[in-house]
Amino acid sequence: MRVSKVLILDGYTDEPAGLGVPPYIDVYPRYIAGAVWAVDKTIRVDYITVDEARRDVHGFISRARGYDLLIVVAGVVVPGKYLGGEPIRLEELRLWPSLIEGPFKVLVGPAARFGISSGEGGRVAALPKEVRESFDVIVRGDPELYVYRLLSEGESGADPYEVREDYRLVDRFAVLGARIVEQHPNHGYNLIAEIETFRGCPRYITGGCSFCIEPAYGRPVMRSAESIVAEVEALYRHGVRAFRLGRQPDILVYGSPEIGDREWPRPDPDALRRLFHGIRSVAPGLETLHIDNVNPGTIVHHEREAREALKVIIEYHTPGDVAAMGVETADPKVVEANNLGVYPDEALHAIRVVNELGARRGWNGLPELLPGVNFVLGLRGETRETYHLNLEFIKRVYDEGLMLRRINVRQVLILPGTKMWVYGDHWLRAHRGIARWFRRRVMEYSRLFLERVVPRGTVLRGLYVEKYDERLGVTFARQTGSYPLVAELPCRLDPPAKIDVVVYAHGARSVRALPVPLRERGAPARLLAKALGVPEAQALSEASRRGLVAREGLECRVS
């Protein structure tokens, strides 16, 4: 196929192991760009996000007609509300490609692989016929391999189902494609690159969890530390300052020689150290280095090595990090019926261990490393009792004085290729009412945990202003990181701006805060008093003593 111009439209992706909604850029666009340049470095590759395209749809459509190849990346498998962007809608996926005549059109990402999720759990629906028909190819395998073969061998040599068996090509593509980040709208500001360290779950040996697609990859395939470091170096050279090692089911077992042979491989802290040390050496001025998934079972089965591994992470990462743990349920019967592998007491122990090692507050105002827990609702065998046990579990964590950075509750998404696909959505449908009750109670606990994680008066450093909401009169700002905490400011600040804030109140998922240092005249004494826990009459002098107000500070007039 003769190609001189390629356009990547990023409709954003969100999967259990991988995030690509701004400020994140996931691996897909980077690997794809690298695959193109691996074939011919003179090919022009342009990148545009769906939010940029939406600003001028007509302009985007007429521009896209001028390319030889259009690649649309899409698929939000675990839908949520996003502050940084809005993923491509089904309607746009249906309409836009059908209006773009000229280029060869390819759909890739989770939408191509699994279909479309309703956002309320349940079975993933197949892609509607009109969407399928508006693309030339739907790639169900690895997009970068398809694009590489398409450009090097032509359509007949490109198998849309091909899945990589090792990282040889990807390691090359990842370095070559790193420069695509310069076209991302968040580049030079709060852009975070998602980094892949391995694929496949060690628990594939026993079939893995009933709802998870990861065991379908079979024996896990590890990326070498040298390749990951080379990719980070390339991204750093092209201006990325925030990284998350998020694409793997369990960072603790990265590099373990037992992976692939044992359901619960023993962590290899030295392998982790080589990786983290390498990253720090090639990206000395990085601002954020975070992780994502940690399997609590690894901490339980190999506590000594897991503790060492966690210490390595804390030594090299940046504070505010989150070890996202799939607790999934606190009902032992549901653990059993879905082969989840970790029982509630074990999960609680893992939470204790992470708290013990990670609760210390770091330079940016947040604890070094805290657990986040995930619950999945609608699993096989659950009953109303399950929901009460789940809540009891959260209460136990709270009553022990432990911290959780966040509690994530989602309805099971039933993907083809998982055991839940066979079991069905009976449990999900039967418990919609109690699920709503559970979510409400979780929101209450989330607020209580946040009060513990960032008490009033905490100063958080280095937040990026993301947007001002005219209707609410609120500015949203966040640090870069894994599950960054949103601060809502009761005044107008416009991006780009990087600020510090002081916390004065808590919601379930965000904190209310004032930017600091505030300009002396007009600083809201009422809110400062709340933040500092002093009477209003003393608020300004106390704030000034702590350096939170200044003559030339920020403006924040609150009506």
110 scored as a contact of ligand SF4 (CB under 6 A): no
203 scored as a contact of ligand SF4 (CB under 6 A): yes
- CB neighbourhood size of 547 (10 A): 12
CB nearer to ligand SF4: pick between 190 and 293: 293
Q: In 3-state terms, what secondary structure has residue 489?
A: strand
CB nearer to ligand SF4: pick between 331 and 368: 331
Q: In 3-state terms, what secondary structure has residue 270?
A: helix
Contacts of 386 (CB under 8 A, 6+ apart): 329, 330, 331, 333, 334
- The 117-156 site mask, x for binding ligand SF4 (CB under 6 A), equals ----------------------------------------
DSSP bridge pairs for 47: 8
Task: Give the residue carrying structure tokens 């590489």.
Answer: 148
CB nearer to ligand SF4: pick between 15 and 144: 15
Q: What is the nearest approach in angstroms of ligand SF4 to the Cβ of residue 217?
A: 10
Q: What is the nearest approach in angstroms of ligand SF4 to the Cβ of residue 301?
A: 12
19 scored as a contact of ligand SF4 (CB under 6 A): no
172 scored as a contact of ligand SF4 (CB under 6 A): no
Distance CA 546, CA 380 (A): 54
CB nearer to ligand SF4: pick between 249 and 378: 249
CB nearer to ligand SF4: pick between 212 and 323: 212
Distance CA 241, CA 543 (A): 32
Could you say which of 209, 327, 394, 518 contacts ligand SF4 (CB under 6 A)?
209
CB nearer to ligand SF4: pick between 190 and 390: 390
414 scored as a contact of ligand SF4 (CB under 6 A): no
Count residues near ligand SF4 (CB under 6 A). Answer: 10
201 scored as a contact of ligand SF4 (CB under 6 A): yes
Q: What is the nearest approach in angstroms of ligand SF4 to the Cβ of residue 208?
A: 3
Distance CA 178, CA 480 (A): 19
Q: What is the nearest approach in angstroms of ligand SF4 to the Cβ of residue 326?
A: 5
Q: Which of 419, 437, 415, 435 is nearest to 427 (CA)?
A: 435
326 scored as a contact of ligand SF4 (CB under 6 A): yes
H-assigned helices in 376-475: 384-399, 419-423, 426-430, 432-453
Could you say which of 11, 22, 160, 208 contacts ligand SF4 (CB under 6 A)?
208
Distance CA 377, CA 12 (A): 25
Stretch that binds ligand SF4, among 205-213, 267-275, 356-364, 428-436 (CB under 6 A): 205-213
212 scored as a contact of ligand SF4 (CB under 6 A): yes
List, as own/partner pairs, every contact residues 89-97 make where C-beta atoms lie below 8 angstroms and the sequence separation is at least 24, other chains included: 90/116, 90/128, 90/131, 92/11, 92/50, 92/54, 93/11, 93/131, 93/134, 94/128, 94/130, 94/131, 94/134, 95/134, 96/9, 96/53, 96/57, 96/60, 96/61, 96/64, 97/70, 97/72, 97/134, 97/135
524 scored as a contact of ligand SF4 (CB under 6 A): no
214 scored as a contact of ligand SF4 (CB under 6 A): yes
Q: What is the nearest approach in angstroms of ligand SF4 to the Cβ of residue 290?
A: 19
10 Å CB burial of residue 477 (0-12, 13-18, 19+) is: buried
CB nearer to ligand SF4: pick between 364 and 418: 418
366 sits in which H/E element = none
CB nearer to ligand SF4: pick between 326 and 365: 326
**Residues in region 284-303 near ligand SF4 by CB under 6 A:** 295
What is the token pair recorded at 373? 């827990």
* Cβ 69 vs Cβ 214: under 8 Å: no
Stretch that binds ligand SF4, among 189-197, 208-216, 274-282, 432-440 (CB under 6 A): 208-216
- The 222-261 site mask, x for binding ligand SF4 (CB under 6 A), equals ---------------------------x------------
Residue 508, CA distances (Å) to 99, 233, 439, 486 in order: 42, 37, 11, 11
Distance CA 85, CA 23 (A): 8
Q: What is the nearest approach in angstroms of ligand SF4 to the Cβ of residue 205?
A: 10
Binding site for ligand SF4 (CB under 6 A): 201, 203, 208-209, 212, 214-215, 249, 295, 326
